[in-house]
């Protein structure tokens, strides 16, 4: 009798348990369906939706709906990424050399350590996901190939000193062309040289000395050009002043000569008309100009010296002088 009473209770308990389990399973399935029906597009990403193998791009930011179990959402980070070539960083932030990436040979068969940093961005998420299996690795391999190809066209002197900017430009243009050909949905942002140096300390010291000497040469040339640019205008100004002074003197002398010639011609006309009077007047005028600067010194026999000034008051000749002239 007791057994018969317990059996219905056990069956009821089992039914409740089964019902509870069914409810939990249904709730879980509902949650799974709901969670798989929505996705979000962040500010720095795009989403590629595939429907039976057909891909479509969603760039609109925010919450979106998709058909569960039919459509699949693949998020792609569209921020700028970077890859270091020839070096790396440990957990503490210290850099270390990766020799199999950094060691390169130049056109004159010398070795150098060349480090690059390449930054790029995903601009076509569909091609990024489906045109290649490992697009980021492809970018690094393309960059390494372009760097080695470019460095091999330069000798060691140019690669370490003056040729850095040209190497960088050539590498960027080559990577852009290679990425366009591969068509993996990635665009190059920049490719910059981080460091270029010989592989040994002794050679590094020698090349540092060469670089210092070249910089000293450039500095001396720049200083010389600055001094030349400073002195040339001053010399031109001085020459212009001398020329202006010479022209002014020439004009003054020409005017003076012209005036003297006119005066001579006028006096000559008077001389022709009155020769004696003109002659005496010219003599008096000449003496009036010359005699004021002269002294007449008379020494007597007893050693006494007397000075006479032949000019009278107000610049007129002394009477004795006039008598002597007459």
The alpha carbon of 263 is separated from its chain's Cα centroid by a whole number of angstroms, namely 71
In order of their start, the domains of the chain are 2-76 (no CATH), 81-199 (3.30.479.30), 274-325 (no CATH)
> Radius of gyration of the chain from Cα atoms?
54
Find out whether 45 and 62 touch, Cβ atoms under 8 Å: no
User: What is the pLDDT averaged over residues 192-218?
Assistant: 77
pTM over 0.75: no
The pLDDT assigned to 173 comes to 95
pLDDT in tens, 59-71: 778 787 777 777 7
Residue 29, both tokens: 């399935």
pLDDT in tens, 102-157: 888 899 888 888 999 999 999 999 999 998 889 999 999 999 999 999 999 999 88
Find out whether 207 and 98 touch, Cβ atoms under 8 Å: no
Q: Give the rounded percent of residues in the chain with a pLDDT score beyond 90.
A: 23
- Count of beta carbons in the 10 Å neighbourhood of residue 113: 20
Find out whether 46 and 125 touch, Cβ atoms under 8 Å: yes
Q: How far apart are CA 254 and CA 53, in angstroms?
A: 104
Residue 181 in this model has a pLDDT that exceeds 90: yes
Contact partners, residue 84, CB within 8 Å, separation at least 6:
115, 116, 117, 194
The pLDDT assigned to 204 comes to 65
- Count of beta carbons in the 10 Å neighbourhood of residue 241: 10
Contact partners, residue 160, CB within 8 Å, separation at least 6:
112, 196, 197, 198, 207, 211
The pLDDT assigned to 64 comes to 72
The pLDDT assigned to 320 comes to 46
The pLDDT assigned to 202 comes to 59
Higher pLDDT among residues 221 and 16, named by residue: 221
- DSSP letters for 93-152: S-EEE-HHHHEEE-TTS-EEEEEEEEEEEES-HHHHHHS-S-HHHHHHHHHHHHHHHHHT
The pLDDT assigned to 322 comes to 43
pLDDT in tens, 291-303: 766 666 666 666 6
pLDDT in tens, 15-29: 777 767 777 777 676
Q: How far apart are CA 284 and CA 273, in angstroms?
A: 19
Q: How far apart are CA 66 and CA 76, in angstroms?
A: 17
Nearest of 128, 121, 120, 119 to residue 47 by alpha carbon:
128
How sure is the predictor about 315, in pLDDT bands with cuts at 50, 70 and 90? very low
Residue 191, both tokens: 């490719």
């Amino acid at each position: 009798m007791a057994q018969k009473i317990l059996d219905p209770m056990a069956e009821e308990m089992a039914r409740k348990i089964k019902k509870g389990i069914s409810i939990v399973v249904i709730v879980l399935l509902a949650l799974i369906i709901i969670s798989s029906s929505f996705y979000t597009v962040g500010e720095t990403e795009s989403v590629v939706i595939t429907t039976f193998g057909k891909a479509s791009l969603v760039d609109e930011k925010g919450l979106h709906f998709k058909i569960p179990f039919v459509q699949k959402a693949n998020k792609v980070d569209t921020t700028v990424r970077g890859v270091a070539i020839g070096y790396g960083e440990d957990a503490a932030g210290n850099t270390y050399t990766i020799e199999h990436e950094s060691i390169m040979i130049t056109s004159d068969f010398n070795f150098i350590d060349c480090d690059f940093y390449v930054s790029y961005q995903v601009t076509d998420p569909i091609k990024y996901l489906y045109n290649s299996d490992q697009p980021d690795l492809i970018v690094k391999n393309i960059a390494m190939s372009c760097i080695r190809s470019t460095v091999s066209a330069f000798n060691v002197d140019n690669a370490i000193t003056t040729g850095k900017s040209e190497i960088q430009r050539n590498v960027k243009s080559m990577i852009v062309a290679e990425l366009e050909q591969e068509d993996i949905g990635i665009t190059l942002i920049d490719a910059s040289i981080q460091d270029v140096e010989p592989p040994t300390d002794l050679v590094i010291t020698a090349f540092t000395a060469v670089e210092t000497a070249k910089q000293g040469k450039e500095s001396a040339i720049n200083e010389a050009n600055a001094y030349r640019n400073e002195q040339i205008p001053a010399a031109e100004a001085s020459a212009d002043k001398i020329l202006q002074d010479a022209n002014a003197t020439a004009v003054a002398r020409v005017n003076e000569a012209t005036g003297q010639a006119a005066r001579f011609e006028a006096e000559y006309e008077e001389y022709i008309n009155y020769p004696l009077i003109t002659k005496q007047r010219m003599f008096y005028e000449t003496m009036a100009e010359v005699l004021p600067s002269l002294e007449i010194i008379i020494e007597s026999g007893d050693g006494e010296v007397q000075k006479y000034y032949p000019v009278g008051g107000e610049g007129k000749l002394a009477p004795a002088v006039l008598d002597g002239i007459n």
